[in-house]
Structure formats: structure tokens, C-alpha cells
Amino acid sequence: MSEAVVVDTNVPIVANGGAAQASDRCVENCIGALERVVTGGRIVIDDDWRILREYTRHLSQKGQQGVGGYFLKWVLQNRANQRRCELVHITPVDGGGENYAEFPQDPDLKAFDPSDRKFAAVAIASLHGPMVLNATDTHWWQYRSPLRHHGIRVEFLCPELMQE
């Protein structure tokens, strides 16, 4: 995988076996996706630790807890490596909450999960047009059309969990 990706926190959580609704196949898909990032991909994160803070709240920084923990350790070690990690700036609005200038001001996205707007904003701000990797969050599926309209591509690693 040489393509740049934005990784929603649910992917390493599922890779660690931390999502009850995830099937064995879903877990395997998440593990495979993270292994591709670590062995030859590029991750895109924000330059102000918003995504990393979320990762560290849910994953061990010591590389423990399975593939998800190893992934976090890899991201922390490669954060300054421009070949493996693209750091992008996103601009908080409305007092620094979960809204970003880079996130589309589209009425069709008004109810999109505020805690995941940082991932979408990072994807838009990136120079590499990254895919957003998602495992279990169904709102990415629900809003896939307006997200796509704004150039945000999402790979659904657990399509069996996505519903209208």
C-alpha cells in the first residue's frame, strides 16, 4: 500500500478485538489494512495531535494490545518521517471544538459525527487525496454520498456492518 490513508480510530480498536459487533473477517480486514500501512503505506494525521490524542485514549502506546497497539507505536515513531506520515494543519472553528474550516459546510453533512470531522478535514487538507479507512462506524456509510461529493473517499473494511 503506497497510497496515503487516514485511519479512523475504530480500525485499530477492531484489530485489537475491541469491538463486539465485529466478525472475525472484519477483524482480519482491519489487521490487514493496518499491516499494509505499517509495511509500506503513508498515514495522514493532523499536526496538532487531535487524531493521536484519540488514538492514545483507546490504544496502548507501548505497542501492546495486538496489532492496534503496534500501529499506534508505529505512528508515534514515524510521525516526523515525511515518507511515512503526512502532517496536515486543520483549523478549528467555533471556539476550537470539533468543527474545522476544512470540513465541508454542507447541509447534507450537518449531522455528521462531530468527533469524526477531524478525519474528514485531514483527508481534505492532505496533498495526497487519502482514503479514509473505517471499520464499524455506520455514519461514514450513511453520509458516503455527500462525503464523496466533497472528495472524501472511504474504504469500508467491514461492509457487512453498514446499513442504510
Question: 3-state secondary structure string, 126-158?
Answer: CCCCCEEEECCCHHHHHCHHHHHHCCCEEEECC
Q: Which of 85, 116, 74 is nearest to 99 (CA)?
A: 116
Quick check: 164 pLDDT over 90? Answer: no
The reported pLDDT for the residue numbered 119 is: 98
- Where does the pLDDT of residue 2 fall: very low under 50, low under 70, confident under 90, or very high at 90 and above? low
The reported pLDDT for the residue numbered 66 is: 87
- Where does the pLDDT of residue 88 fall: very low under 50, low under 70, confident under 90, or very high at 90 and above? very high
Spatial separation of the C-alpha atoms in residues 29 and 34, rounded to whole Å = 9
Spatial separation of the C-alpha atoms in residues 134 and 154, rounded to whole Å = 7
Domain that holds residue 17: 4-143+150-161
Spatial separation of the C-alpha atoms in residues 128 and 74, rounded to whole Å = 20
The stretches of 21-65 forming alpha helices (DSSP H) are 24-40, 50-58
The reported pLDDT for the residue numbered 97 is: 79
How many C-beta atoms surround the C-beta of residue 115 within 10 A? Answer: 13
Could you tell me what percent of the chain has a pLDDT over 70?
95
Q: Which of 86-90, 92-96, 160-164 has the highest mean pLDDT?
A: 86-90
CATH number, domain of 17, equals 3.40.50
- Where does the pLDDT of residue 20 fall: very low under 50, low under 70, confident under 90, or very high at 90 and above? confident
Quick check: 1 pLDDT over 60? Answer: no
Question: What's the chain's average pLDDT?
Answer: 93
What tens digit of pLDDT does each residue of 93-107 get? 977 678 999 999 999
How many domains, the chain? 1
What tens digit of pLDDT does each residue of 43-80 get? 999 999 999 999 999 997 765 568 999 999 999 999 99
